[in-house]
Structure 1
Amino acid sequence: MAYTVVWYDRQGIIDKVTFDAEKTAKAHAVSMFATRKGDDGVVSVEVRKDSGAVVFSHAEN
């Protein structure tokens, strides 16, 4: 099953990255959030299953 990390800025989706494992996708989202926030203006991130169900999310103002 694939898991997609979806990055959002204030305008909407700015990037999507696909991983094979949920644990890897979550680790990527957590470890890259601060960097993406500073570099790209990211305000939230989600990890979604193929079905579209959100399995992890994080947001900051």
Structure 2
Amino acid sequence: MAYTVMWYGVRGIIDKVTFDAEKMAKDHAITMFPTRKGDDGVVSVEVRKDNGAVVFSHAEN
């Protein structure tokens, strides 16, 4: 099953990255959030299954 990391800015989706494992997707989202927040203006991130179900989300002001 594929997992998609979706990066959101104030105007919507900025980027999507696909991983084969849920743990890899979550780890990527957690470790990259501070960098993407500073560099790209990311305000939130989600990890979604193929069926669209959200398995992880994180947001900061």
Q: What TM-score range do you get, normalising by the shorter chain?
A: over 0.9
TM-score normalised by structure 2 residue count: 1.00
Q: How big is each residue's C-alpha offset from its partner over 1:2-53, in whole Å with a ceiling of 9 and x where there is no partner?
A: 0000000000000000000000000000000000000000000000000000
Q: Does residue 51 of structure 2 align to residue 38 of structure 1? A: no
Structure 2 gaps, min length 5: none
Query: How big is the alpha-carbon RMSD for the aligned residues of Structure 1 and Structure 2?
Result: 0.1
1:23 match: 23
Identity %: 84
Deviant stretches of 4+, over 3 Å: none
Task: Specify the alignment match of 1:52 in structure 2.
Answer: 52
Match of 1:55, SS state, is strand
Task: Provide the rounded CA distance (Å) in 2 between the counterparts of 1:12 and 1:59.
Answer: 13
Structure 1, gaps ≥5 residues long: none
